[in-house]
Amino acid sequence: MNLLLKEDVTFITKLSEAEVKKRLHLSVEDKEFYEHSFYGFSKQRRYRGESTGNTFEIEPRISNWSGPTDIGMPLHHISGTIINDVSGVKINMKMKINVGRAVILFVIAFGFMFIAGINIYLFSPLSFNSVFFLELAFLPIVYISILLAFRLACSLSKKYLKKIFEAENIKQ
């Protein structure tokens, strides 16, 4: 299993390049429109970002609430290129973790671990060294949790994008 928080995917489709761009445009909401839209719930597109020429940079939308207090935190960012090839149209995508949001999750988890460690130290007969060891033992668990969340989000995005492009995987 790849323990890095990035993934490279290549799709190939029999659709034309123009049709691929059209389908991408239909499922991606412009970032500026999203940031300046009216408050309230609406049926918006599944991804937000931008698509210019043969490249695109998108991230999944988490909630339908649009406004400055949008709490949806997509864990990954997708950048890709559309290439016309002899065998069909290739769509090369790189899925990377959004570092800022991963750090926020890590700090929150570490804060909970720190509070739990203080409580264990104060209210149990364990020494400081054993509590410190327990804190360090939780760090890999937090990393694995973030990794699994990233992998799940990437697999859902791959499944959806494969469906809208009517594509096949040629590289994962």
pLDDT digits (tens, 9 = 90+) for 43-72: 567 788 888 889 999 988 765 544 443 445
Give per-residue pLDDT as tens, 66-89: 444 344 567 889 999 999 988 899
Q: Is the pLDDT of residue 17 over 80?
A: yes
pLDDT band of residue 161 (cuts 50, 70, 90) is very high
**Contact, 20 vs 82, CB < 8 A?**
yes
The packing angle between helices 99-123 and 128-165, to 10°, is: 150
pLDDT at 139: 83
Confidence of residue 159 (pLDDT cuts 50, 70, 90): very high
Q: Who wins on pLDDT, 79 or 105?
A: 79
- CA distances to 16, 115, 126, 154, 166 from 22, rounded to whole Å, are 10, 50, 62, 22, 13
Residue 134 has a pLDDT of 77
pTM: 0.78
Q: In whole angstroms, what is the distance from residue 17 CA to residue 51 CA? A: 13
Distance CA 12, CA 85 (A): 9
**What CA–CA distance (Å, rounded) separates 68 from 19?**
33
Is beta strand 167-171 parallel, antiparallel or unpaired with respect to 65-66?
A: unpaired
